[in-house]
A and B are shown apart, each in its own frame.
Chain A
Amino acid sequence: MSVRLDERSRLPLQGGWKEDAPSGVPEPRGEVEMSHSPNRQGHQGRQGELLEEVEASGELEATSPPDSRPPHEVPDRAEGRDDQAGFDTIPGAPAAVAFEDDEGWQALRAQTAEDATRLAGRAWDNLAHVEAFARAARDARAVLDRHPDDAHRRAVAHALWPLLPPPARGHAFQALPDDVARRAPDFPLRPGDVPKIAASHSAFLATPGIEAQLFQSGAGPFIVPRGVCPAGATGPTTAVVIDGTARGGLKCHVPASQWTGVEGERYDVRTGGDGRPLLNVEGRAEHVVVPPEVLGAYLFSAGPDARGLDLRSHNDRALLLVWCSLLRSRRLDDKSVFAWLEDESAAPAARTRAVTAAVDAAIEAVAAFAMDPLVCRITLRPHDRDGGWPQRAAALLDETGLVRDVLPRQAPEGFARDMVWLDGVLGPGYAAGRLSRAAAGRAFARLATSVLAPLGVLPLSGLKDGSGAVVLHRLLPRLDETGSIAVTFDGPRVVDFGAGLLGVPLCEAWAKGRGTALPEPRGAPRHDVEQLPAWLAFFLEGVGAT
């Protein structure tokens, strides 16, 4: 079959070449051309004529006897000479089948949907999940070979993912929203895609003396260097809550019980790592006093890797479009978050809720629409009375040719397999659907820097442990007693996609051992809060939202 296809694929080229090379080649006959295809160009008619002559000479018959190939593989010209006249070109190979029309994909989609439904009530049955996954993975490889585009690979991954044993799925993994997926592969931005965020959402940041408003008694916790009170530190930092003013700065305490879990553990005086108070030159313990500039160092630091969205990248355009799509789909009261962000006259409380929803949408835009191959790996460990299912599952997965092994750093005794599959389906990048935890964190930080920071949500990224975690410091507008807008602080929160901590308070993350490797603010870019309203207007103008 392949020989015959090759032979035929050369014919159009021969025809085209022979036109310009008369020697030894039968000249096309104009009258035949007209009689066969009166409305066509002479070049195509000559090709048909050449084919007639080749067939008449028996050359084609010698290499391509009639056979029973499926209709979609047999060029129509083999059916009869009358049909030849209807060709614009002579096909060299079967036309590529559209993805949605691909029988292999249709069968895979139907089978995976049926298996997912069947397995929905059998979450305990890991082997059944692996059997279904392995069967689908074998079929998927053939589909992937025919359809290498990112969008098609994403569709295959979304078909396979529900068949994973539930513990191997990681977090939710969703297909791109339809209105975004239609713009693949370039994901162009168009006017109206991005909300024209009202200036009122950002104007409070330009308040003069914002630090004085933030550093009030009871405010916090604020991140400070470990040296402020080594006893309560986690990694290079600790956190303090302001109690009042004192000479040389702000009197604070360290609410260590929030992350150590030890009831009542709190430090009002500077305490060393050994639990003893650090004495001054007079031999007395000192209160924890922190200068305002030290409190502001971490608060306004953007981290060593601070960057905004690069809209020259299709990945960042796709991310921005997904965020905007989520804003449109989420409703607060009677209208979408998208509309709330555009509402210039919204009350401060409504603006706060809208920004909260925008932050949640940004987290979801990264967490739910891209997957880390290591997060959704299949981990097989033996246990008592397992009946040998992990070994059986490993054998099934090995047969697929799609999975491969990674090794646990601390290798357990006996049988242990960690099998990665997603990198065999998806390419890297947000649009393709595959982001490591570090890449997901960086993508979120870029989105936050561009669209959340001007709303008062300041990201701090570039944690030294490479976790991709991002700390969010949120500044809130609040009406004070005089009716004017004051700025308050909500406390730091952590977004760690690898650990599944999506917007939890920093102290809670510390209690779980996450978010501890904060980068030093010294030398790192800093959020220029007063300029953020102007930056927002500049950004929106750049994306054509204004």
Chain B
Amino acid sequence: MITTTALEAQNRARAEAPVVLVVTRRRAPSSDAAVRAVTAATERLGVDTLAIDVDDVQNAAFLDDLRVQLVPEVLVLHRGVVLDRGVVRDAEDAQAVLSLALRRVRRAAG
């Protein structure tokens, strides 16, 4: 998974291809677990994943705009719309959550 900046995340969020953004914190076991779970799920689903550091001050405005309050949080973004956001328990749960959020996007993409 690539750790990205707010600017890159904003650009990817507006793109035609959906992207999964994981808000993480360094050296936090729950963040590491979420990253592992989401990475495993998105690899199976063929969706790009980005991580963004919640404690990087350059990301603060972007995370404020998205009203991020908790870490880790997973956001599914597509064409500037937040399709879903929340927590995932494990890889299986992440796949179920992401599949549901991307159901129509994937169907439209054929």
Is B truly associated with A? yes
Cβ-based interface call for A85 (8 A): no
Question: Considering the complex, which residues of chain B in the window 38-90 have a beta carbon less than 8 Å from any beta carbon of chain A?
Answer: 54, 63, 65-73, 75, 79-89
- In the complex, A436→B30 CA distance in Å? 19
B97 at the interface (CB under 8 A from A): yes
Is A406 interfacial (CB 8 A cutoff)? yes
Set of chain B residues within 8 Å of A462, measured between Cβ atoms: 80-81
Closest residue of B by beta carbon distance from A404: B30
Q: Is A307 an interface residue (CB 8 A)?
A: yes
Given known contacts A374-B70, A405-B30, A408-B69, A466 and B82 CB-to-CB distance under 8 angstroms: yes
Cβ-based interface call for A427 (8 A): yes
B85 touches which one: A307, A423, A437 (CB < 8 A)? A437
A304-B79, A462-B81, A517-B65 in contact; A436/B100 too (CB < 8 A)?
no
Chain B CB within 8 A of A39 CB: no
Q: What is the interface residue range for chain A against chain B?
A: 35 or more
B96 pairs with A427, CB closer than 8 A = yes
**Is the Cβ of B104 less than 8 Å from the Cβ of A406?**
no
CB atoms of A438 and B83 under 8 A apart: yes
Is there an interface contact between A407 and B89, defined as CB atoms closer than 8 Å?
no
Structural contact, A407 and B83, CB atoms closer than 8 A: no
Contact A373 B86 (CB under 8 A): yes
A465 and B86 alpha carbons, distance in the complex (Å): 14
Q: Judging by beta carbons under 8 Å apart, are A428 and B67 in contact?
A: no
Residues of A within 8 A of B82 (CB): 438, 465-466, 468
Residue among B66, B70, B84, B96 making CB contact with A465, cutoff 8 Å: B66
**Complex: A307 Cα to B108 Cα, angstroms:** 13
Q: Mark B19-43, 1 if CB is under 8 A from A, else 0.
A: 0000001001011000000000000
| A418 within 8 Å of B (CB atoms) | yes
| Interface contact B67-A407, CB-CB below 8 Å | no
Q: CA A517 – CA B88 in complex, angstroms?
A: 26
Task: Please name all residues of chain A whose beta carbon is closer than 8 Å to the beta carbon of B80 when the two chains form the complex.
Answer: 304, 462, 464, 519
**A304–B63 contact, CB under 8 A?**
no
- Distance, CA A418 to CA B28, complexed state (A): 14
Count: A-B pairs, CB below 8 Å: 89
Question: Could you tell me if B72 and A439 are in contact, using CB atoms closer than 8 angstroms?
Answer: no
Tell which of A304, A374, A438, A439 touches B87, judged by Cβ atoms closer than 8 Å: A374
Name the B residues within 8 Å of A149 (CB-CB).
Answer: none
Interface size on B, as a range, is: 20 to 34
Distance between Cα atoms of A313 and B102 in the complex (Å): 13
Q: Mark A426-444, 1 if CB is under 8 A from B, else 0.
A: 0111000000111100100
Kindly state the separation between the CA atoms of A406 and B88 in the bound complex, as whole angstroms: 11
User: CB < 8 Å: which of A315, A405, A465, A519 contacts B67?
Assistant: A465
Contact indicator B67/A408 (Cβ below 8 Å): no
- CB <8 Å contact, A436 and B70: no
Q: Which of A372, A407, A427, A467 contacts B86 (CB 8 A)?
A: A372
Give Cα distance in the complex from A429 to B95, angstroms.
13
Does chain A have a CB within 8 A of B103? yes
Chain B neighbourhood of A304, CB < 8 A? 79-81
Give the residues in chain B near A72, CB-CB below 8 Å. none
CA distance A102 to B38 in the complex (A): 35
Query: What residue of chain B has the Cβ atom nearest to residue A427's Cβ?
Result: B96
**Contacting pair A418 B70 (CB below 8 A):** yes
B87 touches A307 (CB 8 A): no
Is there contact, CB below 8 Å, between A408 and B70?
yes
Instruction: Provide the residues of chain B in CB contact with A464, threshold 8 Å.
Output: 65, 80
A305: interface (CB < 8 Å): yes
Cβ contact of A439, chosen from B30, B68, B73, B101, cutoff 8 A: B101
The yes or no answer to B93 lying at the interface (CB within 8 A) is: yes
Docked CA distance A315–B71 (Å): 28
**Complexed CA–CA distance, A423 and B83 (Å):** 18
* Residue A310 is within 8 A (CB to CB) of chain B in the complex: yes
Contacts A304-B80, A404-B30, A409-B54 known; A436 to B85 CB distance under 8 Å? yes
0/1 string, A410-429, CB within 8 A of B gives 1: 00000000101001100111
Among candidates A313, A372, A406, residue contacting B71 with C-beta atoms closer than 8 Å: A406
A409 near B71 (CB under 8 angstroms)?
A: yes
Centre residue among B68, B71, B79, B84 by max chain A CB count within 10 A: B84
Bitwise interface map of A from 301 to 320 toward B, beta carbon under 8 Å scored 1, else 0: 00011010010010100000
Residues of B within 8 A of A427 (CB): 93, 96
Which residues of the partner chain B approach A315 to less than 8 Å between Cβ atoms?
100
Interface membership of chain A positions 462-474, coded 1 if the CB is closer than 8 angstroms to chain B and 0 otherwise: 1011111000000
Q: Which residues of B sit under 8 angstroms from A436, Cβ to Cβ?
A: 84-86
Q: Binary interface profile of A, 448-474, with partner B (CB < 8 Å = 1, else 0)?
A: 000000000000001011111000000
B104 touches A307 (CB 8 A): yes
Q: Is there contact, CB below 8 Å, between A423 and B87?
A: yes
| A439 close to B93 (CB less than 8 A) | no
Q: Which residues from chain B contact A374 at a C-beta distance below 8 Å?
A: 70, 86-87
Complex Cα distance, B103 from A462, in Å, reads: 17
Of all chain B residues, which has the CB nearest A304?
B81
CB distance from B2 to the nearest CB of A (A): 21
A372→B73 CA distance, assembly (Å) = 13
Partner of B63, one of A408, A409, A442: A409
Q: Does B69 contact A305, Cβ atoms closer than 8 Å? A: no
User: Can you name 21 A-B pairs with beta carbons within 8 Å?
Assistant: A305-B83, A372-B86, A374-B70, A374-B87, A406-B30, A406-B73, A407-B31, A407-B71, A407-B72, A408-B69, A409-B69, A423-B93, A428-B97, A437-B85, A437-B86, A438-B82, A439-B84, A462-B81, A464-B80, A466-B82, A466-B85
Q: A-side interface residues toward B, CB under 8 Å?
A: 304-305, 307, 310, 313, 315, 372-374, 404-409, 418, 420, 423-424, 427-429, 436-439, 442, 462, 464-468, 517, 519
Taking A409-B68, A464-B65, A467-B67 as given, write out 15 further A-B residue pairs in contact, using a Cβ cutoff of 8 Å, ordered by the A residue number: A304-B80, A373-B86, A374-B70, A404-B89, A406-B71, A407-B30, A407-B31, A407-B70, A407-B72, A409-B70, A409-B71, A423-B93, A436-B86, A466-B67, A466-B85
